[in-house]
Structure 1
Amino acid sequence: MTRQDDLDRFYTLLDELEQQVGGTRKLKNCTGYMDWPDRGVYFFLEPGETRESTDQLRVTRIGTHAVSEGSSTTLWDRLKQHYGTGSGSSNHPHGGAHRGSVYRKRVGEAIIEKHGLHDDYPDWDKRWSSINRDRSEVRDEEYILERRVSTYIREQPFLWVNLDDEPSADSDRAYLERNAIALLSNFDKQPIDPRGGGWLGRHSQSQAIRESGLWNVNHVGERYDSGVLELLEDAVDDTTPP
């Protein structure tokens, strides 16, 4: 089987998953009160970004959670970090904390690059430990960009699969995440489903993001194991609407 064949099967399985859960969701419409599986893998898609040969939306971010032994993070815990703060946040409603979400961080970086906002957000790429200013001051300064990131991410349709195994770097979830990223990535490969010129990720500082076509950095240059599709198929069969 070729990579094209495996990609076609991957997207066929996503089609089946979408039908099984009653359609994609958007974070702007989700809450923690929905019946999310405790553990799983998620797939964000990009509005307007379609596969080369069909009108099917293209995956642009793959992720999971709790891959360290002893971790108790749930699927919704991770999705909520990407979502950011809600309307009830006293200081920064509909903002977020990009230092707790690499997805938010990378989207913000691309917005900065696209619009030349480096002087407005000098500390965006820095960890708290390297910032010598009051944290509340930095949060206030970054709030407008956090809101823009929230707006962008909350509009991305996404799907998820239930995959409830114990937290570990060798877990099935880690295996699915790693190999799905490697399969979809165009980094240092003959491009399949090339990314449109309007995709925000083309403005990323990261060559891995620009060339892979994913908001992922890890695993984009790796070889994939086609056995991941068998695991994905089983996970799709085990997934129900929240």
Structure 2
Amino acid sequence: MRRHQDIDQLESWGIGQSAPRITRDGEAKLEKLVSETIGRLRVIWLEVPDDAGPTSERAYFERNSIGLLSRANLLSPLKDRDWLGRSSLDWRICVSGLWNLNHIFSKPDPDFLDRLSNQIAAMLGERAVEAGKSRLTSVIKKQFDLFGEGR
């Protein structure tokens, strides 16, 4: 979301889980803008049929996706200077391009993109990809090489 010229940065935004009525009223315009922006987003999901938990497949995909995406912006910084996250008081949001800070900058599992490709293939009813043969694998290998973290 881009910084909107009619909305000043709100010091209360994103602090705590609840706020007094006067604070909520002051955030109403920003909340409306955020809702409108989210409403225009295209959404894709990954079906992972297991129970949520720290050792689940869901947690594996979340952890590795966030780690990979947050590191990608270190290699190729965000070009959009108007992105609202650039005004965040948390430097990790500004640098990573992500609002979710769990697992940020974590080293992705070298097999992550193969497993992701296979999960997508399973959702689409397609054949699994051979280990190391995913077109996406070279992306993560390049990242490991650039960060000096080869296998």
1:201 is aligned to 85
Whether the 8 Å contact between 2:68 and 2:107 is mirrored in structure 1 is yes
Separation (CA, whole Å) in 1 of partners of 2:13 and 2:32: 16
- Alpha carbons of structure 1 residues 169 and 146: separation in structure 2 relative to 1, 3 Å: same
More helix by share: 2
Aligned length: 122
Separation (CA, whole Å) in 1 of partners of 2:83 and 2:14: 21
Residue segments in structure 2 that go unaligned for 5+ positions in a row? 125-151
Separation (CA, whole Å) in 1 of partners of 2:9 and 2:69: 30
2:74 is aligned to 191
TM-score by length of 2: 0.65
Matched position secondary structure for 2:93 = helix
Comparing both chains, which one has the higher relative contact order based on Cα–Cα distances under 8 Å and sequence gaps of 6 or more? 1
Q: How does 1:172-187 map to 2 (within 5 A)?
A: 172-186=57-71
TM-score by length of 1: 0.43
Q: Deviations over 1:64-89 (max 9, x none)?
A: xxxxxxxxxxxxxxxxxxxxxxxxxx
Letter in 1 for 2:112: V
- Computing the radius of gyration from Cα coordinates, the structure with the larger value is 2
More strand by share: 1
User: CA RMSD, aligned part only?
Assistant: 2.9
Letter in 2 for 1:155: R
How far apart are residue 138 of structure 1 and its match? 4.8
Residue segments in structure 1 that go unaligned for 5+ positions in a row? 1-106
How far apart are residue 123 of structure 1 and its match? 6.7
1:237 to 2:121 alignment: yes
How far apart are residue 163 of structure 1 and its match? 0.8
Whether the 8 Å contact between 1:180 and 1:224 is mirrored in structure 2 is yes
